[in-house]
Amino acid sequence: MSTSSSPALVRSEVRVTGALAAIFGLRMFGLFMLLPVFAVFGASLPGATPFLIGLAVGAYGLVQALLQLPFGMLSDRFGRRPLLVIGLLLFAAGGVVAACADTIYGVIAGRAIQGGGAVAAVIMALVTDVISEQHRTRAMAGIGMSVGGAFVLALILGPLLASGLGLSGLFWLSTGLALLGLLVVLVWVPDPKVRVREAQLPLPQRLLRIIRDPLMVRLNSGIFVLHALLTASFVVIPGVLSERLGLPLPQHSLLYLVVFLASFIAMVPLIIASERRGQRPIMAISVSLLILSLVMLALGGGKLWLIGAALWVFFTGFNALEALLPSLVGRAAPVGTRGTALGIYSSCQFLGVFVGGAAGGWLLQQFGSGMVFWAAAVLCAGWLVLVLGMPPLVKLESRVLPLPVAAEQADDWASRLLSVQGVLEAVALPEDGIALLKVAPAELDEVALARQAEGAVTAV
């Protein structure tokens, strides 16, 4: 069997990755552009207090944390694309509510409704459905970079857009971006027919399989810590740049842009190395980079060059982990629980955002900026211990088959493939005339698979 990817598979993967990266980027830009301006513009809303302004910012993350798991589980049962459509419509509706609000309470309600569009787990599950394991880390990196790019662009453009459109205009713009993402879903995102041996496991069994899995515990803890560190750090960093270093706000955006581009260049070798040497050692290196950056930030004082270098180190490790962690979750999730597993993973991510922001603000108020970075470094060191103790992943393999049946028969055909010993998952892509399989090579009955496939079997 050939070890090269088929041209049809490569085209399918590039198209899906680009479409999902666009959806993620459009949605996150609509969120991030509020961050550098909401504290200023929100203060003029009737009833606004510092606490309620903070609640309006955090309401999105809290609702996301609560709903990622239900969205992921529902996508296991009803498919990925319908849940993407529902999530983007909720995000758009929340933008309309917030844009029409004339008090802080209306904005809080709109932000909470936007948070109801909890599609991060669904998008990552779709990536693991249709992207082969050999290319999955790069696909996750592409999607992660779209989020990072949206973050940087929002920091730069948010203040400019707000001065022209106002707060209400920003929410209308976020609604328009959500509808544009919906168009991408309907036109370019496939609706794969996924069949796994244990897809109908009862919910308690699915949850127990994930909660008891030692590798999943480490991965979920990791994404919680990663986003808690990010949020806690950025409660402090803008103030350090403005108050301690005297850097004007427009120059913050320029600094972030330079740092982000430099960190992307440094991240690429880590991603390539993870595909050749395994993810665990590269995860350990990336977490160590985070610890180093946090110590540098704690000791940075009034030195701009040291703060800039620390941010470069931070985002190099952060971006690498943003690509590695969801890829590992997709591989490690017990069969039949992928959407549920990614729902729990995304809930931990957004819970980390909420906890990091609250804890970072409290530590800053009580003990100063240095303590935020030291506390984050200690938390990150605990994460490094978990990474070093990670159990190895079970070796699985992806296969691509030519689709020998009509589109309307693809679902039944994928189900028949699961009768073959060693086939754990089958995904039919009628649009591309292929099917993707996840198999356990040591258990696979190659003869039976060739008979069921009614065509040549090509390894990818």
> For the segment 394-447, what is each residue's pLDDT rounded down to a tens digit?
666 777 777 776 666 777 777 778 788 888 777 777 766 777 777 878 778 888
The CATH number given to 197-393 is 1.20.1250.20
The per-residue pLDDT for range 300-331, each reduced to its tens digit, is 767 888 888 999 999 899 888 887 887 787 77
Per DSSP, 442 falls in state T
Closest of 198, 287, 305 to residue 241, by C-alpha: 305
Residue 384: pLDDT band (50, 70, 90) is very high
CATH, domain range 1-196: 1.20.1250.20
Closest CA to 80 of 191, 198, 180: 191
Q: Is 15 exposed, middle or buried (0-12, 13-18, 19+ CB in 10 A)?
A: middle
Q: What is the pLDDT of residues 326-377, one digit of tens each?
A: 778 777 776 556 667 777 887 888 888 778 877 887 787 788 888 989 999 9
Query: What pLDDT score was predicted for residue 382?
Result: 94
Q: Is 3.30.70.100 the CATH number for 397-459?
A: yes
* Residues whose CB is less than 8 angstroms from the CB of residue 159 and which lie 6 or more positions away in sequence, other chains included: 36, 37, 249, 250
| 459 pLDDT tier (thresholds 50, 70, 90) | very low
- In the chain, where are the structural domains located? 1-196, 197-393, 397-459
Higher pLDDT, 183 or 69: 183
Q: What is the pTM of this model?
A: 0.70
SS3 content of the chain, % helix, strand, coil (to 5): 75, 5, 20
Query: Which residues are CB-contacts of 188 (< 8 A; sequence separation ≥ 6)?
Result: 15, 16, 18, 19
Instruction: Please determine whether the domains at 1-196 and 197-393 fall in the same fold group of CATH.
Output: yes
